[in-house]
């Protein structure tokens, strides 16, 4: 089931694969990815809309609210044409340190998160509202009940969760309340296929993030790449931990091994006239594990580049060669936060 199939949005005419992608607004403005250019971020959101993207994913704490504010600003007046997904239930005591994450999925906290998000998004409801992380102070059932209250108040059409571990996800889904989930999934990351499958079996919307593996499958890194001081990927390289689910792809020997995979995929993409990012997104949306695959971009040029692969003719030989390359990847076992 795709976002278009659910009848929530009439997708624009053209390539049907555009309905399988969503704009992920974390990297464009969120802390932890180096320097931020808000004008470029605005251009990225506008470019995605002009290209036909109609699903936009953001979160309360991305950029301390700036991500939601920019999405709301650019999409104002187009609300009926798009689906907005945001997340709440977490905050950082120190926005410069991703290891200072605090969870609070109590009803009162979620209500505050929601009100602030709606103000920034310039809307009276969101299409999808998700808990960003599991709150260990509450049971999965209690957290779902708190989400249900928000839904019953008309503040969200679909509710669900991100990044829950296997047992918490099982219990949450068993309540029958979640109608959407969001997990990391990419050509290199298959840690959460069981959770995605369980949600899909119940008719839930499956949103996946990390299509570019936090830049590993889109940027031209070198083995000794120097990340900016506030970039969590650099912390993973230096310290082996970062407080993110992407830590396992950058820590230790994983970084060089994943770059080797990226270079082989790039060599396969080059004769097709595609960038690595375009090729990777085209491969990702052809996977059966998600309904909406998010792609993160920081400016309009990156949006255009990534989407260019959706119209590419990938023949069986190309797909088979890509599968051979990816079969050599050392995909990580479940390690949610990489702490």
- The model carries a pTM of 0.90
- The list of the chain residues with pLDDT below 70 reads 1-17, 30-34, 95-99, 241-243, 333-339
Number of domains in the chain: 1
Taking the C-alpha atoms of residue 161 and residue 147, their distance in angstroms, rounded to an integer, is: 9
Tokens for 282, please give them: 């085209």
Asked whether residue 44 is domain-assigned, the answer is yes
Asked whether residue 10 is domain-assigned, the answer is no
* Per-residue buried b or exposed e for 239-266, using 16+ beta carbons within 10 Å of the residue's own CB: eebbbbbbbbbbbeebbeebbebbebbb
List all residues 6 or more positions away from 249 whose beta carbon is below 8 Å from its beta carbon.
188, 189, 213, 214, 216, 236, 255, 258, 332
- Indicate the helix (H) or strand (E) that contains 209: strand 205-209
Asked whether residue 224 is domain-assigned, the answer is no
- 60-116 confidence digits (pLDDT tens): 989 889 999 999 999 999 999 999 999 999 987 776 666 677 899 999 999 999 999
- The Cβ-side half-sphere exposure at 237, using a 13 Å CA radius, reads 17
Instruction: Give me the sign of the Cα torsion angle 331, 165, 118, 203.
Output: positive
Asked whether residue 190 is domain-assigned, the answer is yes
Give the number of other Cβ atoms within 10 Å of residue 209's Cβ. Answer: 27
pLDDT for res 335: 39
Number of H helices, E strands in the chain: 12, 10
Asked whether residue 269 is domain-assigned, the answer is no
> Cβ-count burial of 207 within 10 angstroms (0-12 exposed, 13-18 middle, 19+ buried)?
buried
Which residue(s) pair with 209 in the sheet? 184
pLDDT for res 254: 87
Q: Are strands 101-103 and 90-92 parallel, antiparallel or unpaired?
A: antiparallel
CATH number at residue 118: 3.20.20.100
Torsion of CA 250, 331, 305, 71, to 10 degrees: -70
Asked whether residue 277 is domain-assigned, the answer is no
Q: Give residue 86's domain range.
A: 16-214+288-314
pLDDT for res 34: 66
Given a contact cutoff of 8 angstroms between Cβ atoms, the answer to whether 29 and 67 are in contact is: yes
Asked whether residue 92 is domain-assigned, the answer is yes
pLDDT for res 32: 63
pLDDT for res 307: 97
Taking the C-alpha atoms of residue 18 and residue 221, their distance in angstroms, rounded to an integer, is: 28
pLDDT for res 1: 34
Asked whether residue 166 is domain-assigned, the answer is yes
- DSSP states of 210-256 as a string? -TTTTTTTTS---TT----TT-HHHHHHHHS--SSTTGGGTSTTHHH
């Amino acid at each position: 089931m795709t976002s278009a199939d659910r009848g929530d949005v009439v997708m624009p005419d053209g390539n049907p694969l555009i309905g399988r992608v969503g704009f992920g607004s974390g990297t464009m403005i969120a802390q932890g990815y180096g320097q931020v250019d808000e004008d470029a971020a605005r251009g990225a959101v506008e470019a995605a809309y002009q290209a036909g993207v109609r699903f936009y994913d953001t979160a309360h704490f991305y950029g301390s609210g700036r991500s939601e504010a920019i999405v709301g600003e650019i999409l104002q007046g187009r609300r009926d044409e798009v689906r907005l997904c945001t997340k709440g239930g977490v905050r950082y005591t120190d926005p410069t340190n991703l290891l200072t994450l605090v969870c609070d999925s109590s009803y009162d906290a979620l209500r505050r998160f929601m009100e602030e998000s709606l103000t920034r998004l310039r809307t009276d409801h969101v299409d999808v509202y998700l808990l960003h992380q599991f709150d260990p102070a509450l049971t999965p059932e209690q957290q779902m009940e708190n989400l249900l209250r928000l839904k019953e108040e008309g503040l969200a059409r679909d509710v669900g969760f991100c990044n829950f571990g296997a047992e918490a996800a099982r219990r949450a889904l068993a309540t029958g309340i979640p109608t959407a989930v969001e997990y990391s999934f990419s050509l290199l990351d298959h840690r959460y296929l069981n959770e995605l499958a369980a949600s899909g079996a119940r008719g839930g919307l499956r949103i996946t993030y990390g299509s570019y593996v936090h830049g590993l499958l889109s940027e031209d890194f070198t083995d000794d790449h120097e990340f900016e001081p506030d970039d969590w990927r650099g912390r993973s390289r230096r310290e082996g931990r970062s407080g993110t689910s992407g830590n396992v792809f950058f820590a230790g020997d994983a970084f060089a091994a994943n770059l080797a995979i990226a270079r082989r995929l790039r060599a396969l993409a080059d004769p097709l006239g595609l960038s690595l990012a375009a090729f990777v997104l085209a491969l990702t949306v052809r996977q059966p594990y998600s309904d909406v695959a998010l792609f993160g971009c920081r400016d309009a040029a990156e949006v255009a580049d990534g989407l260019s692969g959706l119209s590419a003719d990938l023949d069986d030989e190309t797909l088979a060669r890509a599968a051979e390359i990816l079969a050599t990847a050392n995909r990580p076992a479940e390690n949610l936060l990489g702490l």
